[in-house]
Each structure stands twice: as C-alpha cells, then as structure tokens.
Structure 1
Amino acid sequence: MSATTIAVASFLLLVAAGAVAPAPARADCAAKADTFSPPRGARDVPTNVKPFIALYGYGRAQVVKLLRAGAYLRAKGHRVKVTPRAYTGYATESVVLSPASALRPNTTYSLDVTTPQGARLLSYSFTTGASRDTRAPGSPSPRNVKHTYTRFGCGPADRIAFELAGALSDDKTPAKALRLRFDVVERAPGRKPHKRVVVALPGSRSLGHGMCAGNAELRPCATYDFRVSVVDYAGNISAPSPKLSVKTKCRRTP
C-alpha cells in the first residue's frame, strides 16, 4: 500500500469518525480504513508500548476475532504475544494490544493479521527506541463543550464536541499522536445509568460519531457525565479532567 493510499484512508477515517469535519454536506464513506498509534513506520517507540488500532469498514470484526485467537509482535528471531482489548464504537472497533513482556530496544516489530486462507487483513510495523516510558501525559482541560446533531448524506453526525485549553503534552509521545479516553456515565430516561470507557482516535476532540463512524452512539434526551484523560504510546493515562455533563438534544431534526 502506498504512502498516499494510507494517508487518504486515514483522512477518510478521521472524517467519518468526526475528528475532521467534511467540507461538503454530502461525502462518501471509506469502505475500509485503519488508524494506528504509534503510526506505521514510527521510530523511537517506547519498549513498553501498547499499540492502538482503530478499525473501520468491512472485515473489522474478523480482525478482532483473529487477534483474540492469538497474535504476536514479531522481530527477527523473536516474538512477543499480545493480548487485545477491544472497544466497540459506532461502526468502529478499536483495539489496544498489551505485549506479554517489554519489547527489545532498537528493534523493528511487525504485526500481520491473515485469514486461515492466507488473505492479509492488516499489516503494521514500528521500531522501538532505547527505553521505556513510565511518565503519564499532562491532564487535559476541555472547554466549550456542546452537543451537535447534523444529518449528512450517508448518516448523521451526533457528537459532544469540545476544545482543549492548551496543547496536549507528553515526554515521549508526539502531541498529535496522543489520544483521549472517556470515562462515561450515560443517564437516559427509563434506563439504568450505564458506565463505560470510550477510546478516541488521535486528534479526535469529541464523544459520539461523525457521518459514518465514531467512538460511541449517543441517545437522544440523555445526560452524559464524563471525564477526559490523555493516553500515550505506552498506555500511561493522565489524571482525568474535571467532570463534564451534557444533555443531548431530545428532538433530532433532519
């Protein structure tokens, strides 16, 4: 796959998930797009990395199933078993991979997911640096939090969006590669409060979904209490933000 193809696929996934706003009111959804953190080909990755993969489009459920059946990060003459933890979003599956042991320094590792018939569904590689990362990122400060609902050509964008006061920061993970985690309590009429953890793509600043995909489905007329944390390459989690509370719109106009 060429660098241009990868870049286009990643951009389409960000548009679909709502991390990047589409220019026209109608836009085509990508048939398949995967996002990786650290990104493909990244270098100087901490040896205690916990790779994050967001899967959108056809084949995503099969990839998760194959990862659960047994997956390894492989290097020359060496392999490390990884345990996946999956998070189901809106038309999206996100997976955090936890290696059974720290990786070797200054080593290139690859992950390939293939079907029993030999069809390759996913290919990913990165190179470690010399050390671990044990320091958590700085805590985020969300502001201007609001719920928006807009209908597009291939589906509605329904999300709780916000800005961050100041840039995200970490000692080893680039700011643009840091991703957000939401600890959410959903309170909907006639339903018991529902607690869950929602993970977001690097660059995303919203809870919910864009026109085709996203990290969560929101209910109308529901109250969402949540805190936002920042996660780095090694899975270190920042202190959470203060609690935020937003009620979604009760009427959804086309």
Structure 2
Amino acid sequence: MVSPTSPIGVFDSGVGGLTVLHELLVSLPSEDYVYLGDTARFPYGERTQAELKVFAAQIADHLLAAGAKLLVIACNAASSAALHSLQNHLQSIGSDVDVIGVIAPATQLAVAGSRSGRIGVLATRATVLSGAYATAVAAADPHVHLESVACPDLAPAIQSGFPFDEALVEMIRGYCAPLTEAEVDTVILGCTHYPLVAPMLQRALGRGVSLVSSGAGVARSVERALAARQRLNPRPGEGSYRFQCTAAPDRFREVGVRFLQLPFGAVELVNVAPVDMVAP
C-alpha cells in the first residue's frame, strides 16, 4: 500500500538517470528511493516509440510491486515516447501513483531563462524524432525557436566510461556546431547522460550559452506532486536509496559512481521483462 514512507521509483535505460537521482537526493533528502537501470536494453535512444512504451510499462509494474509511491522517468527518450501511455496504464490498473517525466521541467527552465528566444536541444535520435521538445517549447512560448540536434553516439560513449580524449572532444564539437550556427543562447541537455560532459559542452558552445538539465526541475515537480497527495516523507533525517539493473551490475556500479557523486551501495540484478525481449 502506498504511504508517505513508501519509496520513490526512478528509472532510466542505464546510469544517466543517476544525474536526476542526485538532484532528488539533495533536494528531497528525507525520501527513500529505488533506482532501476534497464542496462540489458540500453540504449533507449535507438529504440522505437512502441518498444519504449512496453519497456516503461514493464518497469513501472516492477517498481509498483516494490511499493513505489511516485515514478520518475529519468530518461528523455522514454519520457518523450511513454509518459502519457504510462499514465494511462497506471490509471487502467487502478493506481493513483503519479508519473513525472524530464521533458516539461527542462523545457520550462530553458524557456524562462532564454534571453533571445533561441533555444537548442541536444538529445538522442529517438527523443528528437518524437518531437516532444518541439511540442513542449511551442506550448510554453510559441515565439521561441528551437534547434534540435540528434547525438546518437554521445550517450553510448558516456555509458561506456567516456574517456576524456580528443575523439570525444571532436564528437562534442560536431554536435554543438549547428547550435552555434543557430545562435542559441540556451541549450537543453536532452539526455540525462549529458550533464557528465557539461564542461566539454560548455567549452564547445561558449560561455555565453546557458546549459539546462532536467534534474532541478524534476525535483521541484516531484515535491509538488507528493505534497498534493500528502505523501511527503515526514522523517526528520536522511532516507535510503538502493539500486537495481537488468544486466552487468558490477559495470553499472563502476560507472554509476561517477554519475551519482554520492556513496554507492550494492546493485541488485533484476528481470523486468520476458527473456525474449531483453536482447537489443
């Protein structure tokens, strides 16, 4: 049964969503969290919309069974493809658990912060093709111009350990070039992996460009959603957090430590889907 002391469920295709979990742990320290990385089916950025809807429903069912009182889709590709279908899925099974994605919080921060009304977004191919950011920006302010750039190789490079070498620098410069040409003054990091290379992105874009990630906005949205249902954890001290993944738990922990920037405990290996759906 859902209660104020139940955990918040957070999920992503891999370790990128740990940048969102970091913000949640800092902003809402009294809460308990369970984080799931679907590493067996990483990367989500190359998946179809239909696949992502299925994956999101499977993970949601798993986290609900673990007692989650709210779900955070800490992945741009899954948020763009599956937020609404997941909300409908939860409604269909009689659950009143809220689902928070990462698209709207990042968009709101970017639109509010842009001086010129020219915004860029760096994201996976699936997120760009979904048009989710274009829709969100138009809804927030129809006069804002959005320049979208798909970065198919960046999240896999970061997930693998992202050596800070010249090849990665050149990759980032190439992805940032269209945004520089478009004269944007604000860039949304439209993948939760990207904050880990924010200094390299900032250097390529120039100091006059503001970078916006979703973590802080998501934390505010989570707090409002829990407060509205009177589900904020009342404990005075710090809560707990634990990790699950669907493949390679040792590797998940090794890379995840860099993303979370907080103590990292054991990682539980779990299966959230039929075996024939696990392989990419």
TM-score calculated relative to the size of structure 2:
0.25
- Relative to its length, the structure with more strand (as a share) is 1
- Relative to its length, the structure with more helix (as a share) is 2
TM-score calculated relative to the size of structure 1:
0.27
Compare relative contact order (CA 8 Å, sep 6+) and give the higher one, 1 or 2: 2
